[in-house]
Chain A
Amino acid sequence: MRNLLTRKSFNFAFIISVGLLALLPLYVEMTGDDFYLDLANRLMILAIAAVSLNLILGHGGMISFGHAAYLGIGAYSVGIPAYYEIYDGLFQIITAVFVSGVFALLTGAVSLRTKGVYFIMITMAFTQMAFFGIVSIEEYGGDDGLVIDTRSTFGNFFDLEDTVTLYYFVFVSLLISLFIVKRIMESRFGMVISGSKSNERRMQSIGYNTYRYKLVCYVLSGCLCGYAGALLGNFTNFISPEMMDWTASGELIFMVLLGGSGALLGPLWGAASFVLLEEWLSSITTYWHFFFGALLILVVLFARGGIDGLLSKIGLSK
C-alpha cells in the first residue's frame, strides 16, 4: 500500500533548474556580467511570492487579488526600520512575517465570509486600502517611495550587502519555501485544505470548520509572501507603494496560472517564465503586455495544468 503512495521519481526539470540557479554566480564571476544575477534574483523572490499565493489560490481555491499587499508590507518592514537606521535582518524579517500575518488574519477573517467574485474583489479592496495608506504617509516618502541605503545585516555573521550573498540567501529561502509548502500540503492540515477546495459542503458535513482552516491557510500564505517582500526590499534597495499596486497582485496570479496552479513547482515555472519573457519581449516591443495576455489565454484554454502540466506530460516534472 505504501509503495503506491510514495512512488518516487526524479523531477528532471526541477533538478536542472536548481543546478542552474546554484551555479549562476560562478558564471557571473567568470564573465563579470551581473545582469543575469539580478534577473535570477528577482525571479526567485517573485517565485517565493508566487509559491505563497499558490498555497491559497492553487491548493486552497481562494483566488486572492490582493497578494501584492504582503510584498509591500514585507518591503516596508525592511525600509521603515532602515529609515531609522535599524538594519538588523532578524528584526526586519520577523516584523515582515508578523505584520503580514496580522494583516492576513484581519482581512482574511472578513474576506473568507464571502465567496467567488466577492472574495476576489474584497481582497483587492483591502490591498488598495494598504496601498493608499502607505501613499498617505509623507514621512516614508508617500508616493515617491523610500531608498534603503543599507541592506539587512545578521549580527556579525553576514549581511546581504554583497549581491552574491543576497542571491544565495534568496536561493536557500526559495528551496525552504518549496519544502515547507510541500510538507504542509501533505500533512493532515493540507489534506483538509485540498478537501475544502474540492467540496467545501461535504467537508463541513464530515466535521470540518472549513472557514477556520482556510483562514489559517490564508495567514500562512500571507506570512510567506511578507517574507518574500522583505527579500524584495533588500534586493531593490528602493521601496514604493507601487509594489502593492493591484497590477502587481495580478502579475502574481498570472505567474501561478501560467506555471500551473495547485502544482508544487508551478509557481517556480510561472515566475521564471514571467521574468524571462518580460525581459525578452520588452526588449523587442513596447507592446509586450499584449503578448503576455495572449499567452495567458492560450494556457488557460489549452493547457489547464500550465507549464507544470506540460512538463509532466513530456516526463520532465513529477
Chain B
Amino acid sequence: MRQTILSISNLSKTFGGVVATDDLSLDVEQGELHAIIGPNGAGKTTLIAQLSGEIFPDNGRILFQNKNITMLPPFKRSHLGIARSFQITSLMQGMDVIDNVALATQANDGHAYKFWKPARDDRDLRQSAIDALKEVGLEGREFEKVQNLSHGEHRQLEIAMALATQPHLLLLDEPMAGMGTEEGDKILKILQKLKKRKTILLIEHDMDVVFALADRITVLVYGRAIASGSPQSIKTDERVREAYLGTEGDLNC
C-alpha cells in the first residue's frame, strides 16, 4: 500500500477573471511519477507555482507529508523536501556550474551563515555537488560558467539543482522544453533513472515522454482535472480525447 505524499484538495486560483485553477483535487503517492498534461493555458505552471509557494491559492489546501503547506513561502517548502525545476531556465548566471549546484546543496545542510571559511574548499559540499552533476550527465562541465552551457545542458543543470536539495518530491516543469530529439533523449534517460528512487510530479508537453514515464496521469483543462488514471486508461478516455485533441484524434499523433 503506497502512501500519499502530496495531497491537493479543492485548490482554486483566479487572476482577474481568468480561472487558472478550478477546484482542483489530486494526490501524489510516494514513489510514483505522476504526470500532468493538458493543452496550453490549462493552468499547469500555475499549479506548480502554487505547489512551490511562489503564488498562493485563493482557496483550498495543500498537504505535504500530512503537513499543511498551503501558505508557506518557497524556502520553507524547500526545507521540507519539495524541489522544483523551471520551465524557463532559471540559473545563477555568472557563476560556475558547480557553484550553482553547491548552493543548492548547502541550502539544506543548514550551515549557510558561515562567514569565514571559504565555501569552495568545503570538500563535502563540493563532492555532493559533483555527485548531483554526475547524475544528470554534466560531469566534466563543473567549472564552466553557466552562460557558456548549451540549452540542453542548462536543462540538465536545472534538474541537478533541484536534485541537490535532496528532495522527497520533485516538481519538474517541462524539463524537455525547447529540446531537440537527441537532447530530449538524454533527459528522458535521466528521468527514467530518477523515477526509480524519487517521487516526481511531471508537467510535460511531449506525449511520448509522458506515456513512457508516467505511472499515473492527470489531465488538466481550464484549471480542472477532467481525468486521472493509468496511462492506459487515459489513452482510451473519451473525455480526454474530446477536450485534449478535439473530437477526432489519437493521443499518439
Which residues from chain A sit less than 8 Å from chain B, CB to CB? 1-2, 4-5, 183-184, 186-192, 194-195, 198-199, 201-210, 213, 216
Contact = CB atoms under 8 A, between A and B. Distances in A.
A186 B86 CA distance: 27
A2 B142 CA distance: 12
A202 B106 contact: no
Contact of B91 (A190, A194, A199, A213): A199
A187 B93 contact: no
Contacts of A198: 92-95
A187 B102 contact: no
Q: How large is the interface on B (under 10, 10 to 19, 20 to 34, 35 or more residues)?
A: 35 or more
Contacts of A188: 106, 111-114, 117, 119, 122, 125
Nearest to B161: A206
B52 interface: yes
Nearest to A189: B115
A288 to B, nearest CB: 35
A191 B107 contact: no
B119 A191 contact: yes
Contacts of B73: 204, 209
B147 to A, nearest CB: 11
Nearest to B79: A207
A208 B142 CA distance: 22
Interface in B85-114: 86, 90-95, 99-100, 102-104, 106-108, 111-114
A213 B112 CA distance: 9
A207 B73 CA distance: 10
B126 A1 contact: yes
User: Can you list the 9 inter-chain pairs with the closest CB atoms, starting with the nearest?
Assistant: A207-B78, A207-B107, A198-B92, A206-B104, A188-B114, A188-B119, A204-B74, A186-B118, A202-B90
B46 interface: no
A183 B115 contact: yes
Interface of A: prevailing SS: helix
Nearest to A196: B92
Nearest to A5: B120
B154 interface: no
B165 interface: yes
Contacts of B143: 4-5
B83 interface: yes
B78 A195 contact: no
Q: Which of A202, A203, A216 has the most CB of B within 10 A?
A: A202
Given A189-B113, A191-B103, A213-B112, 15 more contacts: A187-B119, A188-B114, A188-B119, A195-B100, A195-B103, A198-B92, A198-B94, A202-B86, A202-B91, A205-B52, A205-B86, A205-B90, A207-B75, A207-B79, A216-B113
Q: Which of B74, B104, B121 has the most CB of A within 10 A?
A: B74
A191 B99 contact: yes
B103 A206 contact: yes
A187 B117 contact: yes
13 contacts: A184-B115, A186-B120, A188-B125, A189-B113, A194-B94, A194-B95, A195-B92, A198-B95, A199-B91, A206-B78, A206-B104, A206-B165, A208-B112
Contacts of B142: 1
B15 interface: no
Given A199-B91, A206-B78, A183 B165 contact: no
